[in-house]
Amino acid sequence: MSKLLKVTSSPHIRHVDSTRGIMFDVIVALLPAAIWGCILFGLRAVIMLAVTIVTAVASEFVWNIVLKKEQTIGDLSAVLTGLLLGMNLSSQTPFWIAAIGSVVAIIVVKQMFGGLGFNFANPAMTARIVLLVSFAGQMSSYVSPIEWWSSGAVDAIATATPLAKESSYTLRELFFGMHSGAIGETSAFLLIIGGLYLMLRRVIKPIIPVAFIGTVAIASLIAGTDLKLALFGGGLMLGAIFMATDYVTTPTTNLGKLIFGVGCGLITFVIRYFGALPEGVSYAILLMNILTPHINRLTLSKPFGAEEVAKS
Amino acid sequence: MKLPESILRPVKLIRGGIHLEHQKNTAECETLVMPAPKTVYIPLSQHIGAPANPVVKKGDTVFVGTLIGEAGGFVSAPVHSSVSGTVTDIKDLTIGNGTLQKYIIIESDGKMEADPELKPFSVESFSDLAEAAKQCGLVGLGGAGFPTHVKLSPSKDVKIDTLVINAAECEPYITSDYRECVEGLNDVIEGVYLIKQKLGIEKVVIGVENNKPRAIELLMQVAADHRDNDDNVKIMKLPSKYPQGAEKVIIYSATGRKLPAGKLPSDVGCIVMNVTSVATLYRFITTGMPLVAKRITVDGTAVAEPKNLIAPIGTPIKEILSFVGVDVQNADRILMGGPMMGNPVVSDESVLEKRNNAILVMYDAKPQPQTACIRCGRCADTCPMSLYPAMVDTALRLGDKENLNSLNINYCMECGCCSYVCPAKRPLTQVMRTAKAEIRRQK
């Protein structure tokens, strides 16, 4: 009897890209802005990111153990969720609140809906919203970035984000991130660099970020609000480039992505302009996340040659 | 010689598809002729359709080209002896893909004597061409194995205006069609003109991927030499993007027409033939020798010195590999055909069939873990048929029949692009096959 060989369904070769590789690429793309946030906001920011990442990974680890599921922390998606959540928080957020955020993101938003690939809303962003409505006071305490540098004081003067009050920041300060805000959202420049890296690596397509940011820009121009604040003053860049491009919770079709991006942009503008809240990016993405399955269904393309069948 | 006319560009390009490493290591390897094997095992079913019925019995003396199995129906093809010698047995074996198949076993006398009764086939009319293809035992040599005479007998009321010659060879590694263009250039071009003339087809498009510039050049030269008589044979330079050589894809490139699921190329005015099929048909018409040997590429990650060779149909793979000097002991799999659509065999006792164009001996790449679908949409982006494999995956897993039926699974040509690109390493092409079977089962 000669040697028995492996027999599997074709194809017999695979591309090198993996789930883990994609998650790793997104983490790499976030790092410049995260590191910049740590420089701006100091040790508290470093600890904040560590707390959210470790808690996120630990939550997923424990969940898998308790439910006797295959361990999935190796796919790095929990690391990414933790990092994104941390970058969306002010460095003044109490650490225990940040940790709760990670648990909510992983356990409630992700695992309870079936784990990776099955959650309908972006875990990090939904967790941020949960924290925002649960701990409104502690969550909206921001610090000016330079304070701790000049005075060395850790308990820096609380301030508002540029969007929250009439501010005198220059375009340059806003674009490069010399202003208050969440740890990872301040430097539009570094976030755009990260986004370009992801597009270059073909991890994301430019459709959603361009549609999202473009819509906010156009709406802001029409309404006559401060364009530089609208684009660079809040969480728009982080949201549009990294949260609104999450595969799981956004449409897969190109037309769907366009609709999603424009929808996010409009809702963001409406909340900022008409609402009582200074910031609307998270809510906009969450609302569009909910519409994603419908957008997908409505924008499916016809298979090759189907129109010929219809004609005849 | 006249200057070759400018090369054709694709009329339209399909969306999707993937860029693969070409791995055409054997492109410049001249074809070797494999010596007669001691024993050949000739399968009676080497094509789509009914198996052939044996017309010889144990103890009969046969020659190279002797008919040993006649077509078992309209969609079927005859088989011929590939060696001279004695029929030792006719029996069912599981040496192919693991299922039971009937084989005619012939012990070779080593002389490779041609059947003295073989004589050139004269093609007078339209229907003679299909008869020639049938008597040749010709099947689609690109890999599908569809009996050629069926293709060449289009119903009278369809108008065929374009003959598409498929020399795209979009699978990695394989160079057997390319070698046919180089070594059998005359047979190819004469065959093309013969078919064009007999079927009264206006236009011929020979499609070649742009990674074979020499084939393009050679074909353009011979086409130019024939221009005095007929100026309607054109060479089309296709992008090297898998699956450019798939029937629907090459028709779209050559004519801009979309071939819907369940339709035949003749429904959109085309006949598509593989370049080696054309040359084989021409050789049969001029010499009377049917399809008894096949040019194949032997390559793969476990092959140190890849080669092209011609071997008799029914030669055990074991002997072909030992002729090329390949050790199977460490290898993980043997594929008949390319890495994207080739069929794996259970052991090296399998034999060479008509439709095979390559034997790949592969080591497995390090397996990557399968994860849940992350909905990246790459499967849908690369699907040349604009399908949604990930949605089929979900619908199949959930047993969602309604959704399964709405996802147009019958359009899938199983090219493998979805599985190839999936970062979650989900076996999407296999899912599509399972889904097709599930839908058939429901009906």
Q: How confident is the model at residue A153, as a pLDDT?
A: 42
DSSP conformation class of A142: E
Contacts of B371 in chain A (CB under 8 A): 18-20, 72, 75, 116-117
Q: Which residues of chain A are under the pLDDT cut of 50?
A: 150-156
Q: How confident is the model at residue A169, as a pLDDT?
A: 77
Q: How confident is the model at residue B279, as a pLDDT?
A: 96
pLDDT in tens, A32-72: 999 999 998 889 999 999 999 999 999 999 999 999 999 99
**Whether pLDDT at B169 is above 50:** yes
pLDDT in tens, B29-51: 999 999 989 999 999 999 999 99
Lookup result for tokens 């070797």: B32
Entry pTM = 0.91
Q: How confident is the model at residue B42, as a pLDDT?
A: 95
**Whether pLDDT at B341 is above 60:** yes
Q: How confident is the model at residue A155, as a pLDDT?
A: 43
Residue A65 amino acid letter: I
* CATH value of A19-298 in 1.10.287, 3.90.930, 1.10.3430, 3.30.1490: 1.10.3430
Range of the domain at B412: 378-442
Report yes or no on B264 lying in a domain.
yes
Report yes or no on B13 lying in a domain.
no
Cβ(B384)–Cβ(B249) under 8 Å? yes
Contacts of A9 in chain B (CB under 8 A): 427, 429-430, 433
Q: How confident is the model at residue A154, as a pLDDT?
A: 42
Helix (H) and strand (E) counts for chain A? Answer: 15, 2
**Whether pLDDT at B5 is above 60:** no
Give the CATH number of the domain where residue B181 resides: 3.40.50.11540
Give the pair of three-digit tokens for residue B143.
């890999």
Mean pLDDT of B202-216: 93
Instruction: Give CA–CA dist A110/A114, Å, rounded.
Output: 7
Domain end point (choices B287, B313, B335)? B287
B345 with A19: Cβ contact below 8 A: no
Tally of structural domains, chain B: 2
pLDDT band at B222; cut points 50, 70, 90: confident
Q: How confident is the model at residue A176, as a pLDDT?
A: 86
A11 with B420: Cβ contact below 8 A: yes
Domain end point (choices B246, B270, B287)? B287
Mark residue A164 as left, alpha or beta (left: phi above 0; alpha: psi -120 to 50; beta: remaining): alpha
pLDDT band at B3; cut points 50, 70, 90: very low
Does A10 lie at the interface with B, CB-CB under 8 angstroms?
Answer: yes
Report yes or no on B205 lying in a domain.
yes
Q: How confident is the model at residue B420, as a pLDDT?
A: 96
Q: How confident is the model at residue A74, as a pLDDT?
A: 93
Mean pLDDT of B372-380: 94
Share of chain B above pLDDT 70, in %: 98
Mark whether B246 and B394 lie in a shared domain.
no
Report yes or no on B350 lying in a domain.
no
| Nearest CB partner across the interface for B420, out of A13, A75, A300 | A13
Mutate to test the interface with B, among A7, A10, A203, A254 (most CBs of B within 10 A): A10
pLDDT in tens, B290-299: 999 999 999 9
Q: How confident is the model at residue A166, as a pLDDT?
A: 56
Using DSSP's 3-state secondary structure scheme, residue A83 falls into helix
Mark whether B138 and B275 lie in a shared domain.
yes
Mark whether B282 and B183 lie in a shared domain.
yes
Q: How far is the alpha carbon of A295 from chain B, nearest alpha carbon, in Å? A: 14
Least confident range from A146-150, A163-167, B160-164, B255-259: namely: A146-150
Report yes or no on B91 lying in a domain.
no
| Nearest CB partner across the interface for A22, out of B384, B386, B423 | B423
**Whether pLDDT at B106 is above 70:** yes
Cβ(B244)–Cβ(B170) under 8 Å? yes
Share of chain B above pLDDT 90, in %: 76
Report yes or no on B12 lying in a domain.
no
Mark whether B252 and B384 lie in a shared domain.
no
pLDDT in tens, B267-298: 999 999 999 999 999 999 999 999 999 999 99
Q: Which residues pair with B295 in a beta bridge?
A: B310
Mark whether B248 and B382 lie in a shared domain.
no
Mark whether B136 and B274 lie in a shared domain.
yes
A304 with B258: Cβ contact below 8 A: yes
Q: How confident is the model at residue B8, as a pLDDT?
A: 87
Mark residue B16 as left, alpha or beta (left: phi above 0; alpha: psi -120 to 50; beta: remaining): left
Mean pLDDT of B105-111: 94
Mean pLDDT of B315-319: 94
Higher pLDDT, B96 or B86: B86
Mark whether B274 and B390 lie in a shared domain.
no
Nearest chain B residue to A250, by CA: B375
Question: How many beta-carbon contacts under 8 Å exist across A and B?
Answer: 163
Q: How confident is the model at residue B55, as a pLDDT?
A: 95
